[in-house]
Amino acid sequence: MTNSVKMLDGRSIPKLGLGVWQATNEQVIEAITTAFEAGYRLIDTASVYENETGVGEALKMSTLPREEMFITSKLWNPDQSNVEQALEDSLTRLQLDYLDCYLIHWPAPSLGQYTNAWKGLIKAQQSGLIKSIGVSNFLPEHIDTLIQQTGVTPVINQIEKHPLFSQQSLSEWCTQRGILVQAWSPLAQGGKGIFEQPEVTTIAAKYAKSPAQVILRWHLQHNTLVIPKSVTQSRIVENIQVFDFTLTPEEMTLIDGLDKHQRLGPDPLEFV
């Protein structure tokens, strides 16, 4: 698997994949078809996106061998007390025998269920229904609890991360424990407040790349996995064309300086 990285469990995951949040079942079929043709192998969905059925149709239509695909889905908060059924439902909609990765979507600490949910993921992994298990939007205290209760460390923590909200301390904490950081909304929801920044536009002009490509490259050079979402064919193709140039340390620092600690999504401590 090209442009991939090893996880704690020894399996490989592509550094860049296609996110399908807010895409309809019809849109994801065309988007995934385009993505596979462009060289993507990782598709990231979730039960709450309500498009697993479309993802499943696209996977079924593809001529790619199943072992070349990397399919991630996520356990929604109300389902934390019923992992087995939620996973079965996702697999049915996706028309798959197993998931390459399954994440607990949010810790939802007020529900008090995320540790039991983690035990459910471990059980499903042991039965072969999931290859790798991880979390999304978890803070250090939540991950510490999982490890203390089960001895099993998540391979991934998928978090909101972009130049306006770089989450450097959380990223470093995960990295120190061998947990890969995967950025959702890596382009800050369509480049809000980023694409027009002179630091970004100047770098983009230098490399004859788009602002989006520069930001994705910045993520990759920080060893962050990315799953940019798009249903536009040209952007899907453009987003994966980021492995043919390298930002200088000075350029990385310029983009680092855009951090405003500006969260665009929900707070993990409050979201239920």
And the tokens for 105? 């979507």
C-alpha triplet 230, 107, 267: angle, nearest 5°:
65
Do 150 and 121 touch, CB atoms closer than 8 A? no
DSSP single-letter state for residue 68? G
Do 81 and 117 touch, CB atoms closer than 8 A? yes
d(CA 137, CA 158): 6
d(CA 253, CA 57): 42
State yes or no: is 49 an active-site residue.
yes
d(CA 195, CA 201): 7
Closest CA to 180 of 236, 223, 211: 223
Q: How far is CA 41 from CA 3, 34, 50, 264, in A?
A: 10, 11, 21, 27
Q: Write the CB contacts of 145 (distance below 8 Å, at least 6 apart in sequence).
A: 114, 115
Active-site residue (options: 49, 98, 114, 207) = 49
Residues involved in catalysis: 49
